[in-house]
Amino acid sequence: MGYFKVKNSILNGNVRISGAKNSALPILAATILSSEKLEIENVPDLLDVQTMIEILRKIGKEVIFENNKVTLNGTVENHVVPYDLVRKMRASFNVAGPLAVILGESKVSLPGGCAIGVRPVDYHIMGLKKLGFEVEIAHGEVYIKKGKKEKEVIINLPFPSVGATEHLMTTAALMEGITVIENAAMEPEIVDLQNFLNSLGAKIQGAGSRKIVIEGVKSLNGRSYKVMPDRIEAGTYAIAIAATGGKGYIEEIIPEHLEILWEILKETGTNVTIEKNRVFVDGKGKKRGININIQPYPGFPTDLQPQILVYLSLADGVSMVVENVFKNRFHHIDELVRMGADIRVVDGTAIVNGVKKLSGTKVEGTDLRATAALIIAGLVAEGTTEVHNDFHVLRGYENIVEKIRHLNGEIEHIV
Size of the site for ligand EPU (CB under 6 A): 23
The one-letter amino acid code at 380 reads V
Q: Of these, 106, 161, 179, 305, which contacts ligand EPU (CB under 6 A)?
A: 161
Main-chain phi, psi angles of 57, to 5 degrees? -65, -40
Q: Rank residues 306 and 378 by Cβ distance to ligand EPU and give the closer one.
A: 306
Q: Whose CA is closest to 204, among 33, 69, 323, 351?
A: 33
Q: How far is CA 307 from the centre of its chain?
A: 14
User: What binding mask, one character per residue, do residues 60-99 give for ligand EPU by CB under 6 A, x or -?
Assistant: ------------------------------xx--------
**How far is 99 from 256, CA to CA, in rounded Å?**
34
Q: Per this entry, what is the length of the chain? A: 415
User: What binding mask, one character per residue, do residues 248-287 give for ligand EPU by CB under 6 A, x or -?
Assistant: ----------------------------------------
Binding to ligand EPU (CB under 6 A) within 28-47 occurs at: none
**How far is 26 from 375, CA to CA, in rounded Å?**
27
Main-chain phi, psi angles of 39, to 5 degrees? -125, 120
Residues 6 or more apart whose Cβ sits within 8 Å of residue 404: 11, 240, 375, 379, 411
383 is an interface residue for ligand EPU by CB under 6 A: no
Q: Whose CA is closest to 327, among 307, 355, 309, 347?
A: 347
Q: Rank residues 47 and 318 by Cβ distance to ligand EPU and give the closer one.
A: 47
369 is an interface residue for ligand EPU by CB under 6 A: yes
Q: Rank residues 170 and 302 by Cβ distance to ligand EPU and give the closer one.
A: 302
**How far is 335 from 333, CA to CA, in rounded Å?**
5
Catalytically annotated residues? 114
Q: How far is CA 221 from the centre of its chain?
A: 27
303 is an interface residue for ligand EPU by CB under 6 A: yes
Element at 41 (helix H, strand E): strand 38-41
CB of 393 to ligand EPU, least distance (A): 10
User: What binding mask, one character per residue, do residues 106-125 give for ligand EPU by CB under 6 A, x or -?
Assistant: -------------xxxxxx-
Q: Of these, 326, 330, 354, 398, which contacts ligand EPU (CB under 6 A)?
A: 326
289 is an interface residue for ligand EPU by CB under 6 A: no
Give the residue closest to ligand EPU by C-beta. Answer: 163
Residues 6 or more apart whose Cβ sits within 8 Å of residue 377: 310, 313, 335, 336, 339, 341, 358, 363, 385
Element at 214 (helix H, strand E): strand 211-215
312 is an interface residue for ligand EPU by CB under 6 A: no
162 is an interface residue for ligand EPU by CB under 6 A: yes
**How far is 199 from 319, CA to CA, in rounded Å?**
44
Q: Rank residues 25 and 142 by Cβ distance to ligand EPU and give the closer one.
A: 25
133 is an interface residue for ligand EPU by CB under 6 A: no
3 is an interface residue for ligand EPU by CB under 6 A: no
Residue ranges binding ligand EPU (CB under 6 A): 22, 25, 90-91, 119-124, 159, 161-164, 185, 302-303, 325-326, 368-369, 396
